[in-house]
A and B are shown apart, each in its own frame.
Chain A
């Protein structure tokens, strides 16, 4: 019975996670085209320009030159960010010392979990079990160290505490507990095989025995996964948009009919802003082509 409840919980959590992430990504992806708001350095500029943060606009008659975009530059920049948290390292080393183990712990646990599912059949092979155990131990330990360190910093450092809500603390506390539980589960061979069997059973529907410790770990993990998309911890998905669709979105307009259509539909929106100088009710295109009304402050 308990196993069934747990399985249902894990299944629901994954379902909520997928729906939540999809909703969050669509929230950003389906917004209209926005005005350009580049921020340099831009990673896909060729290396010679990327080094000093330059752009194609440094060239005379820039439109007459072929646009050279370095995919490798983008991949490298994102890899440095995801793996080493480079911006935090450069600008906030004290936080980085805690944030790096926190993120690596999450990465390791996520990878270990994913690998467990297809490999669960081969767990009798001892080196593999050992490897998964080590990954679980390492991931859980790093997460525990990172989350506890961040929680401590956010409580004790006045500048961080000011901007940390009680719910933020709960989140970090929960992740620290999850890290501790993951370490405890991974410390025994039966814990790893039990977790793998449970995860495999999600696909096969077969019954899997679950210890109390594993049950608690899975329950807490499920809770984390379920509410993750509804918190700012989803920034791993948002980061794609902030970098690729805002900061690095420097492509000059061409004879691109799709862009022209998107812009036209934006210019056809009706403006509802109500200050005196805005012609409320007109389209953006009409407002832009008009002159302002007499100025005035609406404060009476």
Chain B
């Protein structure tokens, strides 16, 4: 045990000022066959980039904040931040999360019980700036010092001794993008403090007051979705092309002629996919089409703006954008007159469309919504589709998307399906409601800019990759093809990057994909070999 030596509360600022980069030798070690694995350091920004864009205390850049042109501009931004902070604590501006925020800000006893639960803190080799309480404590000090009455009285004694500057704020903003909002820390907290929520509120303050947010979430995310139709940039005309291709592909792969239904009024289900599937993993939407059609379910997709993309990145950083997208989703469903919304394999879309929107959507727009996982469970367990599990005779493990499990409590349906269709299914540890985030949560999966991809492969996804190796330790040799089932589009994005970075196909024969692909792979009515092992 190390001894504390100096004024403790000053140390947080010291960690910020230290500009300590990730020491790759301190990352948690990986098991066989990765004992010899060597990580290169996370690259810094180039001089040109650094002259234009701010970076975090670890030299990593996610929010891509432009360097202000002058000291006056910096001072204006600091003043604006404080204005925003006041708004964050008012009911008019933050009715959406005021109660949970106040509870978490007021009552943390800083026992650090949450730290061990955090995959980024532990995966990084316990870098202090990644500790769940670190950024929360920074915000708390700023509130206590600059917002609460008497904040300047005995600041050292009370622990409010923080001096606010643009540099401090930049680091706070960047650190809010070093947490995947997986809420594992909140689950471990004896008091119920939610550091994930505080992180989201920091992002929100920067976005809603200063217009600062990770571009992949805002300009290229919600703004594009609301104006073009999808955060992928796919417009309705492009969507039709993609679907036409998907129909041809289904016919070629399975021998089944399927017409993907669009804008069918009064259908039982409006199926909402993450549009990332259409471009990156078309086999997922194809599998859905095959299952739902062969099971005789009345379903439709929407071709209307936003209606064909279940993504709602507002959930990760901005209440205004969240509300706009959520409202649009329900407007589309209501207009079509469908009986229910079925959310496809996308974790955050589950949470955005189901529980969180529950207290936002006006009565006149309300439509019932449910998870695709429970619908699939019904089809599989009640034998509404014919299955031959022997077609899936390879090792399979399940990655649990945090938003579906920890934030919604949907745990068993996906397991019941896998037990039925995958004879060599095994759990990773921990799993279910106690799972580890893939490391791509809260928008990280879609951020491919600057040095952030290197960080998320080495740091935020490290623990998940170790879990995968451990889950397959009995058959880790590359000759045995194995399947990581990740029923979430963003998780798959992170899996793609993780498996690629760690050369997992070459070293272990590990492939990732969704749940429906496994179901179709086992369907008797479909030609064998739906899962394409050459796709890696």
Contact = CB atoms under 8 A, between A and B. Distances in A.
B375 A60 contact: yes
B374 interface: yes
A38 B407 contact: yes
Given A55-B408, A277-B211, A266 B65 contact: no
Interface stretch (B93-101, B246-254, B453-461, B479-487): B93-101
Interface string A168-186: 1000000000000000000
A296 B211 contact: yes
B4 A155 contact: yes
A1 B354 CA distance: 65
A42 B433 CA distance: 11
Interface centre among B109, B116, B219 (most CB of A within 10 A): B109
Taking chain B's interface residues, is the majority helix, strand, or loop, or is none over half, making it mixed? Answer: helix
B237 interface: no
Contact of A49 (B91, B408, B409, B434): B409
Contact of B3 (A57, A156, A164): A156
A167 B222 CA distance: 44
Contact of A162 (B128, B194, B327, B412): B128
Nearest to B65: A299
B18 interface: no
A39 B406 contact: yes
Contacts of A31: 91, 95, 98-99, 102
Contact of A42 (B157, B222, B409): B409
Contacts of B419: none
Contact of A91 (B66, B113, B320): B113
B527 interface: no
Contacts of B366: 253
Given A246-B100, A277-B320, A284-B323, A162 B12 contact: yes
A273 B90 CA distance: 11
Interface stretch (B271-279, B356-364, B470-478): B356-364
Nearest to A88: B190
Given A161-B8, A287-B320, A28 B188 contact: no
B176 to A, nearest CB: 15
A275 B408 contact: no
Interface in A40-69: 40-42, 45, 49, 52-63
A159 B115 contact: yes
A33 B359 contact: yes
A251 to B, nearest CB: 9
Contacts of A45: 409
A158 interface: yes
A55 B410 contact: yes
Interface in B89-127: 91-93, 95-100, 102-104, 106-113, 115-117
In the complex, which range does the number of interface residues on chain B fall in? 35 or more
Given A95-B111, A163-B110, A273 B409 contact: no
Interface stretch (B38-46, B202-210, B259-267, B292-300): B202-210
Contacts of B433: 40-41, 52-54
B68 interface: yes
B185 to A, nearest CB: 10
Contact of B93 (A37, A38, A158, A273): A273
B159 interface: yes
A86 B191 CA distance: 11
Contacts of A156: 1, 3-4
Given A246-B99, A252-B358, A162 B8 contact: yes
B413 interface: yes
Interface string A128-169: 000000000000000000000000000111111111111110
Interface in A268-300: 269-278, 284-285, 287-292, 295-300
A291 B211 contact: no
B353 to A, nearest CB: 12
A295 B370 contact: no
B409 A91 contact: no
A40 B68 contact: no
B355 interface: yes
Interface string A12-52: 00000000000000011001111111111110010001001
A296 B66 CA distance: 11
A35 B97 contact: yes
A92 B113 contact: yes
B309 interface: no
A192 B407 CA distance: 51
A162 B197 CA distance: 22
A287 B323 contact: yes
Given A36-B359, A60-B375, A53 B320 contact: no
A62 B112 CA distance: 37
B191 A39 contact: no
A238 interface: yes
Contact of B409 (A37, A58, A269, A300): A58
B189 interface: yes
Given A37-B197, A156-B4, 11 more contacts: A33-B359, A39-B406, A60-B378, A63-B368, A95-B111, A95-B112, A156-B3, A238-B191, A267-B362, A271-B92, A292-B324
24 contacts: A35-B96, A45-B409, A52-B432, A53-B406, A61-B368, A88-B190, A90-B188, A158-B1, A159-B131, A162-B9, A167-B158, A168-B159, A232-B108, A245-B99, A246-B103, A259-B359, A271-B320, A274-B209, A277-B320, A277-B321, A284-B323, A297-B210, A298-B80, A298-B210
9 smallest A-B Cβ distances: which pairs? Answer: A55-B409, A242-B192, A165-B159, A53-B433, A161-B4, A288-B323, A87-B190, A163-B110, A40-B409
